[in-house]
């Protein structure tokens, strides 16, 4: 009989490979059908030309901020690739800097190790355990993605993010990295999922910083859209937002923050209840779904907040229902095509407030004139049964519009309308310094500009390498493996984020 731990691992791997890569893209013409052939528009629903109800309009409230926001300890710029598929923060690990993907669906931090010879590690900053003076345990980690595996050793080193240092922090150093990550400008994953389950001391860095008294609260916030900067921060002008660790920053949002509890049985994901869903002023009804803590509902859904996913992923049946509200929409069962001149607004009621998704967010690439679907655009709402609980994966096209706070201590997520009149200023000279390359960086820490980060990918000579990443205290007789399996729906056009939903199993 197989050991229970091995059975658990085999079951987990099977789950991981059950997920299929999904990219919002053109529908398969061989499988094309009219959505209305599957489901007629809801009775009483009329297509409208824009906002027809006060319900779906954003609050008229304005920010009380005077227009400026000063950077301080615990706040870092975040950046993205040119297509805004991947959002990352610059982290100081040991004596070097690394761009890390911000992923609220991953449980812990791991980086590309200097022992990695895979294509994904080429021309990128690589972590060298031996040269950094870090220590390692006898444990290893192994993460299964549906295009390959990330694996390596578990090490301890000082990690600095937003000028906040986590001393002797445990994380993974991967000598094997799947091709999934090859085309993206980061050197590892900053996991910020809702729970900690690792038996190998691999916990999220926010919880670690709070327990060590380094930050005031066990929470973080994401503002995932560009901020205007003043003249002192021009090197950061192409930022993609801010990461806030351990504090509330009311100048960045329009008060109040609307908070809601994380659902129980959420498998360590940031899952919340979506009370109601509207297209324009029409409230949608779906097939009944069990909502943890609330029972069965045909109007409410589960929302899984994932910064590692770009689009919004619905169950197959829910996607049909939603797209039935868009005139003459087409599908192949997974991808959807809707009119490019659509102006309808999709809105989600969460925590007693209405959060909108407008056409400039959910309309993707236009179809060509000779495609047979001229006048149509790719829908960034996708249909895939990628979660066992039927949740909607709310990726960055939703998150980037708001100030979103993730609260570990109170097991809550808070949402607020973003203050758009903010200009970010430099603050004290102690918090930022000039690097030798001329790009601005937090002194001895991670908040260096995207200019410095980009240089890693334009010149192979910039890549950090080492002859060895062997641990200073490795035991060949005792090895503990941490095995995680993670898969999810991918984002907009290049296939990427099957990063988003981590299903974790840790073997002792």
Give, for 10, the enclosing helix (H) or strand (E): helix 4-18
Residue from 81, 97, 103, 484 carrying the catalytic annotation: 103
- Whether 248 is a known active-site residue: answer no
Per-residue 3-state assignment (H helix, E strand, C coil) for 379-413: ECEEECCCCCCCCEEECHHHHCCEEEEEECCCCEE
Q: CA–CA distance from 456 to each of 113, 122, 126, 483 (Å)? A: 15, 10, 10, 30
- Going by C-alpha positions, the residue among 238, 330, 254 that lies closest to residue 31 is 330
- Whether 318 is a known active-site residue: answer no
Strands 480-486 and 135-145: parallel
Question: Percentages helix, strand, coil for the chain, rounded to the nearest 5?
Answer: 15, 35, 50
Largest CA distance in the chain: 70
Cα 177 from Cα 46, distance rounded (Å): 49
Cα 339 from Cα 392, distance rounded (Å): 23
Q: Which residues contact 259 (CB under 8 A, 6 or more apart)?
A: 351, 405, 407, 410, 412, 413, 414, 415
Residue from 113, 142, 158, 306 carrying the catalytic annotation: 306
In the numeric block, the tokens 């080429």 are attached to: 122
**Active-site residue list:** 103, 306
């Amino acid at each position: 009989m197989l050991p229970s731990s091995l059975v658990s691992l085999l079951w987990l791997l099977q789950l991981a490979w059950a997920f299929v890569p999904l990219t919002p893209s053109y529908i398969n013409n061989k499988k094309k059908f009219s959505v209305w052939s599957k489901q007629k528009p809801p009775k009483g629903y009329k297509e409208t030309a824009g906002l027809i109800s006060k319900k779906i309009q954003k609050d008229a409230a304005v920010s009380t901020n005077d227009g400026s926001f000063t950077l301080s300890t615990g706040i870092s710029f975040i950046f993205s690739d040119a297509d805004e598929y991947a959002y990352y923060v610059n982290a100081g690990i040991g004596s070097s800097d690394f761009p890390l993907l911000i992923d609220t669906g991953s449980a812990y931090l791991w980086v590309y190790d200097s022992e990695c010879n895979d294509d994904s590690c080429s021309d990128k900053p690589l972590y060298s355990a031996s040269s950094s003076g870090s220590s390692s345990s006898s444990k290893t980690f192994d993460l299964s993605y549906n295009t390959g595996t990330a694996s390596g050793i578990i090490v301890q080193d000082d990690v600095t993010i937003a000028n906040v240092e986590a001393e002797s922090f445990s994380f993974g150093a991967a000598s094997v990295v799947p091709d999934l990550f090859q085309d993206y400008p980061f050197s590892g994953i900053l996991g910020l999922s809702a729970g900690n389950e690792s038996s190998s001391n691999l916990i999220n860095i926010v919880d670690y910083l709070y327990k060590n008294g380094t930050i005031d609260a066990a929470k973080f916030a994401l503002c995932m859209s560009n901020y205007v900067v003043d003249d002192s921060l021009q090197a950061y002008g192409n930022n993609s937002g801010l990461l806030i660790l351990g504090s509330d920053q009311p100048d960045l949002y329009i008060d109040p923050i609307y908070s809601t509890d994380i659902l129980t049985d959420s498998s360590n994901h940031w899952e919340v209840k979506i009370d109601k869903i509207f297209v324009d002023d029409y409230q949608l009804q779906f097939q009944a779904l069990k909502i943890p803590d609330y029972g069965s509902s045909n109007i409410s859904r589960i929302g899984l907040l994932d910064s590692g996913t770009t689009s919004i992923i619905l169950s197959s049946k829910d996607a049909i229902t939603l797209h039935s509200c868009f005139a003459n929409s087409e599908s192949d069962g997974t991808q959807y095509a809707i009119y490019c001149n659509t102006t309808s607004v999709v809105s989600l009621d969460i925590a007693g407030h209405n959060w909108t998704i407008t056409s400039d967010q959910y309309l993707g690439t236009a179809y060509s004139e000779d495609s047979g679907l001229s006048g149509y655009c790719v829908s960034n709402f996708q249909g895939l049964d990628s979660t066992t609980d039927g949740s909607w994966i709310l990726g960055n096209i939703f998150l980037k519009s708001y100030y979103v706070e993730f609260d570990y201590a109170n097991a809550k997520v808070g949402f607020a309308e973003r203050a758009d009149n903010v200009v970010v200023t430099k603050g004290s000279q102690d918090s930022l310094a000039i690097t030798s390359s001329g790009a601005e960086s937090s002194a001895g820490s991670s908040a260096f500009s995207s200019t410095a980060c980009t240089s890693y990918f334009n010149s192979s000579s910039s890549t950090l390498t080492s002859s060895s990443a062997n641990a200073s205290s490795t035991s060949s007789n005792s090895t503990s493996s941490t095995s995680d399996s993670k898969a999810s729906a991918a984002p907009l056009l290049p296939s990427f984020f099957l990063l988003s939903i981590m299903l974790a199993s840790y073997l002792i």
